[in-house]
Structure 1
Amino acid sequence: MRKLMMKMSITIDGFVCGPNGENDWIFKSSDESSRAWAVSQSMDAGLIIMGRKSFVSMAPYWPTASGPFAAPMNEIPKGLFTQKGFKGIDPIKTETAEQALAAKSWVEAKIFDGDLAEEIRKLKSEPGKPISALGGAGFMRSLIATGLIDEYHLVTHPVVLGKGLTIFNDVLQPMDLTLVDVKSFPLGIVARTYHS
């Protein structure tokens, strides 16, 4: 049985993005060591799952991207969760054979459109490396509601937005989590890992 890990950047006041999805603040406090930690966390995954909105926005970008996150984002198989159907993505424009290969994991993403909790249980029952959940507030709230997340990676950035979207506002009863690791980085990011 494999575990489900959720990674989310969060502000000091508990928001994961601004009211209209703004997330440019994430990159302001990032440094080489925080990026290296995040890449190592990503490389541990055997499957990256996300909601439709995140998938549609990320798929055209990553195959032609460079930098430390490009390898895990392109090499690891993808799972797309949607309740609104999915007609596929526009052809991903690539210029090199390497970029075309990188686009493959996006084009061949497995589509899940059934009950979220049931689909996650099936994925967790399979052998393999952990499942890493990425994406927006709506998808994360839905995942949290299933009660099936094993590990929360909450990366707190030294910024206060004052308003925005949260991921824990729909929790119906208290969740007891166990803090298992804390990492601090030079520009103020603090990464906390919790087990449920």
Structure 2
Amino acid sequence: MASLILKLSVSLDGFVAPLDGSTDWVAAGRSDDGASWTLETLSNAGAHLIGATTYAGWAGYWPGASGPFAKPMNEIPKVVFSDSLASAGWGETTIATGDLTAAITRLKRERSDGYLLAHGGVRFARSLVETGLIDEYRLVIHPAVLGAGERLFTAPLTIEPTSTTVFSGGAVAHVFTAHP
């Protein structure tokens, strides 16, 4: 059975998205060692799980991209969660509809080749947290203060620290195991 890992960027003041929706803040603390950690996380996934909004942006970017991140993003199967998307033109993509908990449970049972790596927009990520099915959180804290925005967690959650990696650019990756 595959585990479900949620990987997200978080600002120093705890936001995963600013109110204006910009993403430039995630460049704060960028470094080669941080990129290597992220590339390893992406490359070891058995499937990428993404929400419809993230899919829309990535499907327009990754198929024509080059560089080390393009291969795992294009070649590893993707599952986009949407009740409104009619087709998915980005290679190796399937669409999951209906109940999120049932779909994640099914994917966890069906997969044995690497973990399920969820990326997100904040709404998709929060929905995953609410299912209680996330096994591990990989949160990269960037040295940026947004002042306001969207938070990932909206209720208490029991997690256990697994590892912390400090990158040369100032970002820090915290890995936590979730407990039901």
Tell whether the structures are fold-level matches, with TM greater than 0.5.
yes
SS in 2 for 1:46: strand
Residue by residue, what CA displacement relative to the aligned partner does 1:100-153 show, whole Å, maximum 9, x if unpaired? xxx522xxx111111000100000012321100012000000000000000100
2:130 corresponds to: 145
2:98 corresponds to: 114
Residue by residue, what CA displacement relative to the aligned partner does 1:35-69 show, whole Å, maximum 9, x if unpaired? 00000011110000111010011001001112221
Equivalents in 2 of 1:68, 1:161: separation in Å? 29
1:131 to 116, 136, 139: 116
1:179 to 161, 173, 179: 161
Consecutive unaligned residues of structure 2, counting only runs of 5 or more, are none
Q: Is the Cα contact below 8 Å between 1:16 and 1:165 reproduced in 2?
A: yes
SS in 1 for 2:60: coil
**What is the total number of aligned residue pairs between the two structures?**
177
1:188 corresponds to: 170
Equivalents in 1 of 2:127, 2:100: separation in Å? 8
**Structure 1 residue 28, shift from structure 2 partner:** 3.0
Residue type matched to 1:114 in 2? G
Q: Is the Cα contact below 8 Å between 2:87 and 2:95 reproduced in 1?
A: no
Residue type matched to 1:86 in 2? L
Equivalents in 1 of 2:177, 2:10: separation in Å? 17
SS in 1 for 2:79: strand
Equivalents in 2 of 1:151, 1:28: separation in Å? 24
TM-score normalised by structure 2 residue count? 0.94
Give the fraction of aligned pairs with identical amino acids, expressed as a percent.
39
2:51 corresponds to: 51
Consecutive unaligned residues of structure 1, counting only runs of 5 or more, are 92-102
**Structure 1 residue 17, shift from structure 2 partner:** 1.6
